[in-house]
Structures are given as structure tokens and as C-alpha cells.
Amino acid sequence: MGIVYQAAFRDFGVDRSVAEVEAALGETWREVARRRAAGETWGSGGGPHRFWRRFVAGTLAGLGGGDLPEGLLERLVAHFQNHTSWRVYEEVPEVLTALEARGLLLVVVSNWDASLPELLAKHELADRFHHLVVSALEGHTKPSRRIFEIALERAGVLPEEAVHVGDSYAEDYEGARNAGIRALLLDRPGRGRRGCETVRTLLDILPLIPPPGN
């Protein structure tokens, strides 16, 4: 996702590295979580469009950019809502089948807008999960503890019975651990992060997640 934002920001005059953009995105999500915890809902009175306008503007400002330029938000929205902009990693179907065969409940916990269920359906993934917990639909955003609690409630499991896998240290790894859930950090580039339980591909999680009751 950082690459997409980085390319768009560069074309509109703000040239930063992918790492810098990803850090700014993470800080904006944390600001969303802080404001929501304080009772403020980003986008109230304006719906998802207002939320994303504020989100993109905040991320751009965090990178030293000025006011949100005309056309930038529209470009990003068009990209993210087009299902052809996304590809499914080749190991995903095999991993989902293996986990389901073990009797595990599979839940998506995502910082996304209300289009995520449709996007997953177009990639033939929606029916592979038992529950979808989407920030825009729940009013809570990772790393908020509450969005993980909602996922646990939907699955009917305790924190110690769950494992969360994600590629963001702050939103996924720290967020899940703060909710009492074991976390695995998906680190495809192999950057390495001290003190984290990491995997390079989703196939790597299979030996780490036993069947229920084991």
C-alpha cells in the first residue's frame, strides 16, 4: 500500500521514500484510533469520502506536503476500489484450505472502507472467511484494542485461543498483542525486526498454528 501512496504523492510533487510514506500512513492510522477512542468519528456527516479526504490530507501533511491537491484523492480512490489493482499471493488459497481443514475459524480484521467485502468477493475470497471485521463498518481502527475484541466476540474465542497475522508492526503486531492475542508479523521483504515472531510467507504460519485444543 505504501508503494501506491508513494507513487501518487510523487506525481503530485511530494517525493518521499516508501519507508517514509509507510511511517506517515501508520501515524495517521494511530491518530484515527486516538480520535475515535476520544469519541470522535472521522467522516461523521460526510461519510467515507470525508474520512478518506481527511486521512490522505493528514498523511500528506505528515510528509511535509501542503494542502491536498485537486485530483490526488480521486486517483487513490479509483485505484483502491478497482479490484484489478489487487492480486492474491499465490500461497493464499493453499493456506486458507489448510487452516480450515484443521477446524480453525478464519476472520479478517482490516483497516478498510465499506467496499472490502465486495473486493474480497471479486477475488473469490469472501466465502473463505467466517467473519469480516472492517474498520469503516465497526467504527474502530487497528491498533485499537476494540476492533480485535470485536473479532474475538464474533469468533466466540478467548484472546489466548487466537492468532493474528498481519504485515504492519504497529497496527497488526502491537495491536493484537495489546489485546492479548498472539501475533505473527508477515515480513515478506525479510527486513527483520528484533523481538518479533515473524514469517516470510503465509506458508510459514502453518507449522506455527496447531489445530484447536492442541
Q: Where are the domains of the chain?
A: 2-81, 92-208
DSSP state of 48: H
Average confidence (pLDDT) over 85-113: 94
pLDDT(43) > 60 = no
Cross-strand bridge partners of residue 134: 110
Q: Which residues contact 187 (CB under 8 A, 6 or more apart)?
A: 167, 193, 196, 198, 199, 200
Average confidence (pLDDT) over 32-51: 68
pLDDT(46) > 60 = no
Per-residue confidence band for 213, with pLDDT thresholds at 50, 70 and 90: low
CB-CB contact of 88 with 123 (8 Å): yes
Q: Which CATH class is domain 92-208?
A: alpha beta
CA distance 90 to 58: 34
Residue among 168, 174, 105, 99 at smallest CA distance from 144: 174
Mapping DSSP to helix (H, G, I), strand (E, B) and coil, where does residue 142 land?
A: coil
Average confidence (pLDDT) over 106-115: 91
Q: Residue 127 has which C-alpha cell?
A: 466465502
Q: Look at the block and give the residue holding cell 467515507.
A: 48
Q: pTM, whole model, 2 decimals?
A: 0.77
pLDDT of residue 90: 95
pLDDT of residue 214: 65
